[in-house]
Structure 1
């Protein structure tokens, strides 16, 4: 005899075959369970939880959908090495820029897997992470990674004379951040209950020191670059603080030389897979429109005429390109080659060697010294948050504060 449903109690919607089971626990949470693809081409039962039936079912449906697309779901009972490999190959590769993914992979292979790879993911503790980081901090990398043994002329552990080559605080912080990112995804997938790496403090490393050009040095550099075919590029770099990739990724359609503006939409980078590749800007805030000084607008007009003459001289050898800055044959400029040209100009100008990126720091420093507000510099440089600008150039602001309070003291000391 068919039972009649109780009045006032809504019937649960049926669950389709293969969608698993969904039920409410005694603690009022909802639990959904089903079978998904696991590493080794096996299947295992997973459980997910939610505050509502709909939420729990949605989480399970997502895992089953990924499983049907052939993406294995890692097991928390598996090793940290297995999970990191899964995370790099199936998750991070879709969310990171190619060069960033390459750096993450090197970090995992070089430090994370050798140090923590054998531990079970579910049993990894904050103490394990802290102990491992302390060991990295105090151990010579030549000895640990057997670097010296692979050298043609060993000069460290292979000859019993340790050079004590240790990782910098900045590198340790980077390694820690990669581990946190991987474990954070494991938490989102409910493989582990919490991100134990977040409970470990590595300390805030000192920001990398840079030596921006002074106003006199900047003038000296521009005078030396006056006759170079890329004069317009170096003027634009020093006047606007654009990144190297942003300069090389500029197209003529991005420029409005009559209005004196430039739209920063893309960056040019060399990747392992695609060679010289045009990519989106570093962050969403990096995509911006900036004002061009009259001097730069005039230099770019002259550069356009020069490019036309180079195209006529190259004839059929010209590579049709929409880039503003190209080689004499019309090809995009390799970032490494631009750095070589920059270093040559520094030597010719009799200036100390700095990185190309320090031109960007020079722009911001000189603007700060001219009294330009921090928010204007932040928009020009394309920083995501004004806190980034304030942190990077804190030493400049501190020097300006010293000058300001000294001037005030002199004024107050006068009768």
Structure 2
């Protein structure tokens, strides 16, 4: 008598609704089943794998998504429908929340209006290239009606186009979002190839940054010395922490006796959720760094000041442990910190820079002091040393030139 254990894998029966799995003549495994389709209908889909387990896993994933009410995309459907499916069923599980928000804005603002009506299966590299070229030369103020929404139109609506075009970096970002979405369509065997990969957008020039010099950094710290957030700016310049990492620090993350800080989170504003603590940008960004004695001293003074503010607030002080807060104990908005930073720059008589340039200042000054690249990489929390080397290539070239000049001097004048 044959038992279910003796039955070959290709002939085992499956429960009703679980689909079928069998081996094809070409040795591949095929799984087929019914899933929810656009228009509240059901359709039979087929997926393939080199093993029975692989094919079955693909089918199970699609049936599970169908049971959650997510219709399976169809290559016969529009690109807009697929992008919506990809955002809601795929990207939401693999991207950080703020990254998913940026992807959604990019798709709704550019991809859907520009290519959304195209059939997914019929989208070509020429379609993508033509659309990107058009996007490159289109005034966004005119296209998106920005001027029309103003109380007093001043450019496009009155016939004076302001030529507000997208930057090369923005175009490259839009192109990368489309590539990511189509790459998943290839993996799900909805389309045969990713046509966006065949389109070249050119390598945009990296964003230029203007870090402070050592003299300017001292001048800035002197201007911030009497500010209640002096410890924050001092910590930013000495450690190169990101803005969100600074605002997400809690007292439990600091060991002032040992002089160390553990970076575990970043504070970001999410749409509809307010200020929210999130995991660090990458796994490498979660790190433990030493604190210079000057920062330890400033943080101890800041803690005493915060205790005074907490007692003055009484029972209205929020129950959290953030190191840097407003005078009422609430977490600090990134935009408010930027305003404070710009005001201090004006007070110090310095040029206008971004807050993130304090991070670049830290790395640049460390490089100029001869600190090894791998140490800077660990301090900044870069995922790969190649990132550190690429961002600060201009500094390294200058240091290499100085080194070669020193060698030349030694060879010419013994």
Relative to the length of structure 1, the TM-score reads: 0.94
Greater shift after overlay, 126-135 or 17-26?
Answer: 17-26
Q: Distance in 2 between matches of 1:262 and 1:396?
A: 28
Q: Which residue of 2 aligns with 1:238?
A: 237
Q: Which residue of 2 aligns with 1:291?
A: 290
Q: Secondary structure at the match of 1:78?
A: coil
How far residue 14 of structure 1 moved from its aligned partner, in angstroms, is 2.0
Q: 1:74 to 1:334 in 2, by over 3 A?
A: same
How far residue 248 of structure 1 moved from its aligned partner, in angstroms, is 0.8
**Pairing 1:310–2:309 present:** yes
Q: Which residue of 2 aligns with 1:219?
A: 218
Q: Distance in 1 between matches of 2:388 and 2:353?
A: 20
**Pairing 1:74–2:73 present:** yes
Q: Which residue of 1 aligns with 2:261?
A: 262
Q: 1:365 to 1:10 in 2, by over 3 A?
A: closer
**Pairing 1:176–2:175 present:** yes
Q: Secondary structure at the match of 2:225?
A: helix
Q: Distance in 1 between matches of 2:182 and 2:217?
A: 46
Write out per-residue CA displacement over residues 380-415 of structure 1, whole angstroms, 9 at most, x where no aligned residue. Answer: 001111111111111111111221122222222225
Q: Secondary structure at the match of 1:269?
A: strand
**Pairing 1:105–2:104 present:** yes
How far residue 8 of structure 1 moved from its aligned partner, in angstroms, is 12
Q: 1:55 to 1:319 in 2, by over 3 A?
A: closer
Relative to the length of structure 2, the TM-score reads: 0.94
Could you tell me which runs of 5 or more consecutive residues in structure 2 were left unpaired when the two chains were aligned: none
Q: Which runs of 4+ in 1 moved over 6 A?
A: 7-11
Could you tell me which runs of 5 or more consecutive residues in structure 1 were left unpaired when the two chains were aligned: none
Q: CA RMSD in A?
A: 2.1
- 1:30-109 equivalences in 2 (<5 Å): 30-109=29-108
Q: Secondary structure at the match of 2:266?
A: strand
Q: Secondary structure at the match of 2:48?
A: strand
How far residue 155 of structure 1 moved from its aligned partner, in angstroms, is 4.8
Q: Distance in 1 between matches of 2:9 and 2:114?
A: 53
Q: 1:48 to 1:326 in 2, by over 3 A?
A: same
Q: Which residue of 2 aligns with 1:28?
A: 27
Q: Distance in 2 between matches of 1:386 and 1:151?
A: 46
User: Contact 1:320–1:331 at 8 Å: present in 2 too?
Assistant: no
User: Contact 1:36–1:44 at 8 Å: present in 2 too?
Assistant: yes
Q: Secondary structure at the match of 2:162?
A: coil
The alignment of Structure 1 onto Structure 2 pairs a total of residues equal to 411
User: Contact 1:33–1:47 at 8 Å: present in 2 too?
Assistant: yes
Q: Distance in 2 between matches of 1:96 and 1:55?
A: 24
Q: Distance in 1 between matches of 2:291 and 2:8?
A: 69
